[in-house]
Structure 1
Amino acid sequence: MIIKQQFIDGKWVNSKSNETRDIINPFNQEVIARVTESDETDARAAIKVARYAFDHGEWPTTPATERGHVVNKIADLIERDKEELAELESLDTGKTMEESRGDMDDIAGVFRYYAQLADKDGGEIIDSPVANSVSKVVREPVGVCGQITPWNYPLLQASWKLAPALVAGNTLIMKPSEITPLTSIKVFELMEEAGVPAGVANLVLGAGGTVGAELSVHDDVDLISFTGGIQTGKKIMQAASGNVKKLALELGGKNPNIIFADADFDTAVDQAMNAVFFHAGQICSAGTRILVEESIHDAFVKSLTDKVKNIKLGSGFDEDTQMGPLISEQHLNKVMRYVENGIKEGATVATGGKRPTDPELQNGFFYLPTILTNCTTDMDVVQNEGFGPVITVEKFSTEAEAIKLANDSIYGLSGGVWTADIAKAERCVAKMRMGTVWINDFNLYFPHAPWGGFKQSGIGRELGKAGLEEYTETKHIFHNLKPEPINWFQ
């Protein structure tokens, strides 16, 4: 089997140690690829290259329009190779091809959005209190960026980081998840084809405990952008304090989906499923915490349960499949323990709560779509992110109680409100402490709108203009056009 390599200084190379890692298809545990496995040594080599490319290379001072053209070319190539990329993503993650194709459209859209933003911010002139002077504010690239991406949306999350970093004129080292690196490898091939200069974008393949840790602690890295778990995020914050790196952290969520009695019932039920069971619930913004008004609670749970029982599990390459497997055996065991603990806490399994018994699914990391009822906010299963196909259901009686329950969490990534009462919806949104709140929708995102969380869901924003600003530093320039002695000390 050919070993897939990493990309450093414009060259495809093996790790210094020549270690490798097998990449597993979560549907059947077959080895689908073998990749080089790096450690701190390779990370340091990539950092050195990126540092030199930023300090001495031409990319940071290349006209923004030209950088935009290169990033737009990457979008063209992603669209050209959409089917190949989608196949790699489904092999790597187990998600359906329909989901993966949709991801590729979104990814191309992210590159195009930032490409067209490239030359739109030429700075601003601000009023100066001094005569015969000019005072202006400009944005400059932050420098060398370490980018650490998760396994659930490997290329989508990579695009949220790569496109704004490149457009802003930075250099970078990306470390994809060690278990889902295939589409990241492919997109670096496309970036090379698009004309990204050697040394500007570097890809290092390895574990978070080695490569990721080195990116976080190294003094020549100016920014870390990380998407992943909250405990790892806290470790990165500590490591980054050594040289006071800029941080952009997206650390997940336990996202409430509030269903009022006056909502469109059938639509709310349908969207409650969609909010969770895409990609087997392995979505940071999944609406896994449903809060239902007491008067419709029983009817809502019954309708939801009846529909969830019919979700078809299978291979992502089967057009009839609606939900694929979890990413790994380790993660499957984590989700199983999560549900078992919920049951011990007093939750009731309305459906699911176990592995499927179908013979054709036994080699994959499948878990049945699960609904837990009789849940209360003090339960661990309600408070902590399970990152699987599991919904917890709570009930409320008043608007104030719904808001209180929704905010009772260390997380604040996203949430939803379902109601026909516009005023009620706006009152709820104003009080919900989350980075994104949907009204009569859930899990919709697009490149123009910023993405990120309140509280322990993270720091900073991706997407939108705010996502580009994360990759810049603000500089104030004061130019005295008629300097004269002050004579203070005469």
Structure 2
Amino acid sequence: MSFLIPADTTSFIDGGFVATRAATTLPVINPADEQVVSLLHEADAAEVDRAVAAARRAFLEGPWPRMAPAARKEVFARIIDLVGRNLDELAWLETANTGQTLHYARQYQLPRILGSFRFYAEWLGQSTELATQDGEATLRYVLREPLGVVALISPSNAPTALASTKIAAALAFGNTCVVKTSEQTPLALARLMGLLTEAGVPPGVVNLVNGRGHVTGDALVRHPDVRGISFTGGTATARRIAAIAGEGLKRVDLELGGKSANIILPSADLERAVDASLLGIYTNNGQQCFAGSRIVLHRDIADAFIDRFVARAEQIRVGHPLEPSSDNGPLAFRASYERVQSYVDIARAEGCKLLAGGTRAPGFDRGYYFRPTAVLAPSNAARVCQEEIFGPFASLLVVDSLDEAVAVANDSRYGLVSYLWTGELAEAMSATRRIQAGNVLVNTPMLSLDPRLPFGGYKESGVGREGAQPSRHFYTEEKTVTVALTPPALPRLGA
């Protein structure tokens, strides 16, 4: 199975792809073989301005912000149908671009597009607003209006799935948007733009610009007509976005990185904890913000866990992402591969014990293939326990109590997710209250996100939350209307 990759990847503005006129082109590389598969034409400030102008025109003059919820639901239903019929193509493009296995893209990542649009299609018909009456004196109620033009920025590890979640929420509440993802992974998202238009999303409502963060991204977040920025990605980039947004008093929603602690206690089901811990750090090559990259082991079960975990990690099949037998493909791009490799050297220098991996996967002369890696760290102060590596790299620590495990979990500048494995209710209730993270999972890995509930992080893992209610507040303006039912008595100044 294969599909056509366009030779040129350009911006999508006002309902169509723009002509290739960019001064700067960037290679789009297949990480499986390092071949250039497309040329990305970088959007400069002028092209970003065209995209924002199209979105603003669609917001001020077009039908979408004024469309009845039932009509939006019909468009969403057509999006769901079209994406479902083209899911194989989207997954193939995502695999050719990110290196994640085709099975993972098709079965886990890309179905999130369908889930997001299904959820917000239902939400459109169920949300209500506040109203209150003060006796017979006044009636007060809330009008909710779309925010306006929003910038939606997704990362390279799940470019299309995460962008689609933002698009579905923004459109559900009547906004128009300009979307950007990593310059290294634009292919499937560009194809999604065409499907949205085919489904009936009016021109200008969803636009796509491509390019590097300091060029295209900077122009987008600085644009005065952009009223909100939803960003998923790295903390350093988020700081720059937040600073720029502050100057323009723009809203920001920032879902950032993590160094999630995965705590395993003696009362846990050890086999399930091993299974889930392998999934938590090695799924998608560890390129996940919620990866359980710090495995915190109670001393009583540490040796037994390590033996089983390492044996299983060594058996993970790293291969071509189109091969059905591959558990993991290559990392998404060269810089990611080199970063993971550098932390093997850092770990050795810090006195960590290499337990598994640490080298290029055998059998490949080209491509960014890296073996699942695990180290035993001497303390949580080690860089491999404090810094987000964003790859198939697990750092294991040994502690002597639940209190120490919680302290280790909280000893981080991040706080996105934490995992806890225990057979004791008292341990679970105690730890979940004390762990400083936006999401605490007990006896389960992160298998899916429930959009009915908020998702986001403490500390440097984010500002704001995603999910139905947080999105409702982020993507809309609230207007309180007061109507006098009985004319109030008024002092007559100057009478």
Same fold (TM over 0.5): yes
The answer to whether 1:301 aligns with 2:302 is: no
Match of 1:117, SS?
A: helix
Using the alignment, how far apart are the partners of 1:69 and 1:461 within structure 2?
Answer: 27
Using the alignment, how far apart are the partners of 1:210 and 1:424 within structure 2?
Answer: 49
Match of 1:115 among 121, 131, 149: 121
Is the CA contact 1:254–1:287 (under 8 Å) kept in the aligned structure 2? Answer: yes
Match of 2:275, SS?
A: helix
The answer to whether 1:253 aligns with 2:243 is: no
- Counterpart in the other structure of 1:8: 13
Is the CA contact 2:182–2:212 (under 8 Å) kept in the aligned structure 1? Answer: yes
Is the CA contact 1:411–1:456 (under 8 Å) kept in the aligned structure 2? Answer: yes
Match of 2:410 among 401, 407, 412: 407
Using the alignment, how far apart are the partners of 1:483 and 1:61 within structure 2?
Answer: 32
The answer to whether 1:419 aligns with 2:422 is: yes
Q: How do 1:46-125 residues align onto structure 2 when only pairs under 5 Å count?
A: 46-102=51-107, 103-125=109-131
Q: How do 1:432-471 residues align onto structure 2 when only pairs under 5 Å count?
A: 432-446=435-449, 447-471=451-475
Match of 1:192 among 197, 208, 211: 197
- Counterpart in the other structure of 2:132: 126
- Counterpart amino acid of residue 89 in structure 2: E
Is the CA contact 1:79–1:104 (under 8 Å) kept in the aligned structure 2? Answer: no
Deviations 1:328-384 (A, max 9, x none): 1111111111221122111110111122232xx220111111111034111111011
Deviations 1:200-230 (A, max 9, x none): 1111111111111112112110000111100
Using the alignment, how far apart are the partners of 1:262 and 1:464 within structure 2?
Answer: 35
Q: How many Å apart are 1:93 and its aligned residue?
A: 0.6
Q: What is the count of residue pairs matched by the alignment?
A: 487
Q: How do 1:132-147 residues align onto structure 2 when only pairs under 5 Å count?
A: 132-147=137-152
Q: How many Å apart are 1:276 and its aligned residue?
A: 0.8
Is the CA contact 1:59–1:200 (under 8 Å) kept in the aligned structure 2? Answer: yes
Q: How many Å apart are 1:104 and its aligned residue?
A: 2.1
The answer to whether 1:276 aligns with 2:276 is: no
Q: How many Å apart are 1:318 and its aligned residue?
A: 0.5
The answer to whether 1:430 aligns with 2:433 is: yes
Deviates more, 1:293-302 or 1:474-483: 474-483
Give the share of equivalent positions with the same residue, in percent.
Answer: 36
Q: How do 1:236-385 residues align onto structure 2 when only pairs under 5 Å count?
A: 236-358=241-363, 361-385=364-388
Is the CA contact 2:299–2:399 (under 8 Å) kept in the aligned structure 1? Answer: yes
The answer to whether 1:152 aligns with 2:125 is: no
Using the alignment, how far apart are the partners of 1:17 and 1:87 within structure 2?
Answer: 27
Match of 2:485 among 465, 481, 484: 481
- Counterpart in the other structure of 2:3: none
Q: How do 1:141-220 residues align onto structure 2 when only pairs under 5 Å count?
A: 141-220=146-225
Deviations 1:453-490 (A, max 9, x none): 11110111123332343211222111123344511535
Q: How many Å apart are 1:17 and its aligned residue?
A: 2.7
Using the alignment, how far apart are the partners of 2:20 and 2:133 within structure 1?
Answer: 53
- Counterpart amino acid of residue 480 in structure 2: H
Match of 1:409, SS?
A: coil
Using the alignment, how far apart are the partners of 2:132 and 2:19 within structure 1?
Answer: 50
Match of 1:279, SS?
A: helix
> Gaps spanning 5+ residues in structure 1: where?
none
- Counterpart amino acid of residue 459 in structure 2: K
Is the CA contact 2:40–2:183 (under 8 Å) kept in the aligned structure 1? Answer: no
Q: How many Å apart are 1:18 and its aligned residue?
A: 5.1
Using the alignment, how far apart are the partners of 2:477 and 2:343 within structure 1?
Answer: 42
Q: How many Å apart are 1:138 and its aligned residue?
A: 3.0
Match of 2:428, SS?
A: helix
Using the alignment, how far apart are the partners of 2:485 and 2:456 within structure 1?
Answer: 42
Deviations 1:257-277 (A, max 9, x none): 000011111111111000011
Using the alignment, how far apart are the partners of 1:25 and 1:419 within structure 2?
Answer: 41
* CA RMSD between the two structures: 1.5
Deviations 1:251-295 (A, max 9, x none): 110000000011111111111000011111101100010000011
Deviates more, 1:166-175 or 1:368-377: 368-377
Using the alignment, how far apart are the partners of 2:383 and 2:159 within structure 1?
Answer: 28
Deviations 1:404-433 (A, max 9, x none): 111111111001100111221121111111
Deviates more, 1:101-110 or 1:434-443: 101-110
Q: How many Å apart are 1:132 and its aligned residue?
A: 2.7
Is the CA contact 1:14–1:36 (under 8 Å) kept in the aligned structure 2? Answer: no
Using the alignment, how far apart are the partners of 2:487 and 2:53 within structure 1?
Answer: 41
Using the alignment, how far apart are the partners of 1:82 and 1:317 within structure 2?
Answer: 15
Q: How do 1:213-232 residues align onto structure 2 when only pairs under 5 Å count?
A: 213-232=218-237
Q: How many Å apart are 1:36 and its aligned residue?
A: 2.4
Match of 1:241, SS?
A: helix
Deviates more, 1:170-179 or 1:135-144: 135-144
Using the alignment, how far apart are the partners of 1:450 and 1:487 within structure 2?
Answer: 47
TM-score of the aligned structures, taking structure 1 as reference length: 0.96
Using the alignment, how far apart are the partners of 1:255 and 1:201 within structure 2?
Answer: 34
- Counterpart in the other structure of 1:31: 36
Using the alignment, how far apart are the partners of 1:222 and 1:299 within structure 2?
Answer: 53
Q: How many Å apart are 1:119 and its aligned residue?
A: 2.6
- Counterpart amino acid of residue 194 in structure 1: A
- Counterpart amino acid of residue 461 in structure 1: R
TM-score of the aligned structures, taking structure 2 as reference length: 0.95
> Gaps spanning 5+ residues in structure 2: where?
1-5
